[in-house]
Structure 1
């Protein structure tokens, strides 16, 4: 796939090669690639006449829909730098992120525009566009933008700036940060996804995460937008989702681990099958073997369930299929597979300090746990307006080489596969050594009554006391007998023999984006209060 000057040119290419194919199915509405390209061109011209210049930062707060897809690519074509923030990060974080990005335009549904006015969001915005009915003074509508675009010249693609988007992280392990994406980075990601998964235009996909919906349609898939709350994927109507996949004979499903878990449990209860799917893709947090096994029972034999590894700042990094995962012998952590073609990864000695320059002496031997570092075209070069975060996360190499510190602990096996051991900031440092979350939790997750567990530390770093927080399966009850069984499991394993505290939690706090990343920071505070330690 040749690198486009502007990522929106992928829509134009699809329109030229398959004009009448449906691009987006949104409930009872459908738009073809030809009509989507026409809408993108019209809106881009209108946005330019309304004041969007190359480099203008434009916040986009529109729910997944035909309008969301058209506006995203129209903003790119107009040369805007879109500001994308997960609406589930909370009102305070949303206001802070918008203040940090300082958008000059704000495009949103009526609810978002009302929040902008009432809560003081995006005070820097001088162009406000409402997607839907507008009751807001000084706000344009999509109809206004289309009218401006009629007969107006198309934006010059040669004026496209390098930056395409500011994509904010979920903030699951700290304050959300805006990773700057370039058009070249988007193009590299699209090409890598297409080649790795052998995505062929003309098929149907059901994406349940907005960013992947954009990649799918740009690669020529017809996306079917499910009627769901995209900020609560674990609460999806699984019968609806299953029916939608089968109605359209969809070949691809992307979902967070929590959504895939919910769908697999539905299949287990109902006997529902998803025979048309050719691939299931899940990322955002570790995906357990049990989750993969449940969803695989709904698929025809041999259908891969792939779990890519990456982050907002670098995606995709590595990948593994459920079949390969099941074939591996147990080892510390979760295997996330081999490097994605075109991506280099390294394991370096763990440090919480900035590293000013790359040196091969930083790299650990295979088998040693350290922090994961990534290099490649899919790495975001910077956080917007956060030089202190850049200093901690980026390492400069020779020439223009850039390395990104993932903030994850892990190791590489003798075959070259990466293993994920948890977030670096979640490691528990005790007087007798360092405990990493994922390897320790796996020991206890093997108990049939445990839905999931989370290792946290209480007390000062270096002399922390480990505590295991446990969320039980439905129908299981906490009690002395279960606690004894869990402590016996832990005591029999060298990794977990010093974990002596088990606390039962009714429902772990998780991130909004994927409903799968456990907020161990919140659990640590809760555990400290329960145990009387700080």
Structure 2
């Protein structure tokens, strides 16, 4: 079967054919929102492109876009793309200055607060020649922060932008990794990568005409319209998604009758918990996509209670460098939990999506090795990081393969199994433990919110420490007893040298779902010598 990969510009042209359809709704709170039609979106992109051109922005220019407003993000990204400029997406974090020194962007587009941080922290210093401020202007802004870039939604009476079709290999975007498993790196997407990702997302989302998507991840708001979806972007706290008031998520979901919900486990947990506390159901939802971290059974069950019969919950696997790769439904996850395949451990990720290949490199006698991925979703390299590109990318069989850094196996049915990050192996004098093998079991213990396995000490002589977040109101003794029962039945349970309770795990800024194990291990090291348990 031949798969057709529509370019970004072919998808934009289809949007222009139905210029009055609403494709983006930006929620400004739990009870108010603003709708943007296709005509308004395309007209806004044209006007913004004209303003950017007048400011000296042109083909090949790298432009940081740092705004928390979904409409402004979409308009700025589409307008830059129409000029042949390269949007650079990065979250505000401690490493921004180093990251932008690598990228050397000539343009910085952002909210006033982003420009204040740029000036104070030296983001892009020596590189940024054009500073453009979104939002309402204030006296002295040009002198203090930069010139205004009007991104207000126009009436939509003007024509769509005229966009020359780029070559598939042209650089389209740079998106930084979250930094949760190492230093953030700028991932290069060319136009063929974006086309492959959109086609793969079509296969996962399976959108129907008139579908409404609730996207709880801001950058995805730029992809939703290209997939033909009315995209609702709720007011998520993008610097700490897990601290978002749940009403900001559930209110827009119910008000707009979202058919598809996309978010990290942390955000989906907010929605499920809010529904459980208030006796709410989500009758319009027929598909939920979880991404950013493994989907645990407890969250699946909590979500299922709020969804109508027949609704599907999917756990999607991928990375900034290759997204999406594979997906598995909640029914299959339940069946595998009830009857796990003999000898398998960890979490099943499902089969690779159409057009995507996966293999396991450097496998040991049990088939455990590093997951590598090939296909149209794989990015060509890292920006200004040739060593990182050489370490992660290789050509074989006429395809570009990306080493994910994830450990896993492929079973006899072609399904991927995830065992944790290669960098997070815990190695003692006579044992090697993968994080997902232990945590997938430990997380099922009563009273446990989640667990994290870390190693304390030098590699090869580490002590295995299981850090535990308790469910609210659960006594430590109850949790310890439940953990002993679960780990007693686990083949590596006796290797756990210490159980350490932690009030809240440090996590990545992007999803609040990936655990920052380096920080957690440093915290655990302070207690191990005293035998804390």
| TM surpasses 0.5 | yes
| Matched position secondary structure for 1:500 | strand
| Matched position secondary structure for 1:157 | coil
In structure 2, relative to structure 1, the CA distance for the partners of 1:144 and 1:395 (3 Å cut) is closer
What are the ranges of 5 or more consecutive residues in structure 1 without an aligned counterpart? 350-362
**1:500-519 residue pairs with structure 2 within 5 A?**
500-519=497-516
Match of 1:358 in 2: none
Match of 1:58 in 2: 63
| Matched position secondary structure for 2:472 | coil
The answer to whether residue 238 in structure 2 is matched with residue 254 in structure 1 is: no
In structure 2, relative to structure 1, the CA distance for the partners of 1:200 and 1:450 (3 Å cut) is same
Query: Which one of the candidate residues 309, 315, 326 is aligned to 2:317?
Result: 309
In structure 2, relative to structure 1, the CA distance for the partners of 1:275 and 1:152 (3 Å cut) is closer
Match of 1:390 in 2: 389
How far apart are residue 151 of structure 1 and its match? 11
Match of 2:405 in 1: 407
The answer to whether residue 201 in structure 2 is matched with residue 219 in structure 1 is: no
In structure 2, relative to structure 1, the CA distance for the partners of 1:127 and 1:441 (3 Å cut) is same
| Matched position secondary structure for 2:333 | helix
Contact map agreement 2:72 2:151 (CA 8 A) in 1: no
How far apart are residue 83 of structure 1 and its match? 0.8
Match of 1:420 in 2: 418
TM-score by length of structure 2 reads 0.90
Match of 1:355 in 2: none
Match of 1:348 in 2: 361
Match of 2:348 in 1: 335
In structure 2, relative to structure 1, the CA distance for the partners of 1:67 and 1:432 (3 Å cut) is same
**1:192-211 residue pairs with structure 2 within 5 A?**
192-211=200-219
Match of 1:109 in 2: 111
Deviations 1:94-118 (A, max 9, x none): 1111111110111111111111122
Query: Which one of the candidate residues 67, 70, 85 is aligned to 1:80?
Result: 85
Contact map agreement 1:128 1:140 (CA 8 A) in 2: yes
How far apart are residue 321 of structure 1 and its match? 0.6
Q: How far apart are the structure 2 equivalents of 1:153 and 1:291?
A: 44
Count of aligned pairs: 510
Deviations 1:492-526 (A, max 9, x none): 32122221211111111111111111111111111
Contact map agreement 2:41 2:153 (CA 8 A) in 1: no
Query: Which one of the candidate residues 458, 463, 466 is aligned to 1:465?
Result: 463
The answer to whether residue 302 in structure 2 is matched with residue 294 in structure 1 is: yes
What are the ranges of 5 or more consecutive residues in structure 2 without an aligned counterpart? none
The answer to whether residue 148 in structure 2 is matched with residue 141 in structure 1 is: yes
In structure 2, relative to structure 1, the CA distance for the partners of 1:496 and 1:136 (3 Å cut) is farther
Match of 2:73 in 1: 68
Contact map agreement 1:61 1:109 (CA 8 A) in 2: yes
Query: Which one of the candidate residues 40, 48, 55 is aligned to 1:43?
Result: 48
Q: How far apart are the structure 1 equivalents of 2:471 and 2:152?
A: 51
In structure 2, relative to structure 1, the CA distance for the partners of 1:244 and 1:113 (3 Å cut) is same
How far apart are residue 489 of structure 1 and its match? 3.3
Q: How far apart are the structure 1 equivalents of 2:198 and 2:220?
A: 10
Deviations 1:332-363 (A, max 9, x none): 111110011110000112xxxxxxxxxxxxx6
In structure 2, relative to structure 1, the CA distance for the partners of 1:293 and 1:103 (3 Å cut) is same
How far apart are residue 195 of structure 1 and its match? 3.0
Deviations 1:70-125 (A, max 9, x none): 111111111111110022xx2x3111111111101111111111111222111201
The 10-residue stretch of structure 1 (271-280 or 209-218) with the greater mean CA deviation from structure 2:
209-218
Match of 1:22 in 2: 22
Contact map agreement 1:347 1:412 (CA 8 A) in 2: yes
Contact map agreement 2:448 2:479 (CA 8 A) in 1: no
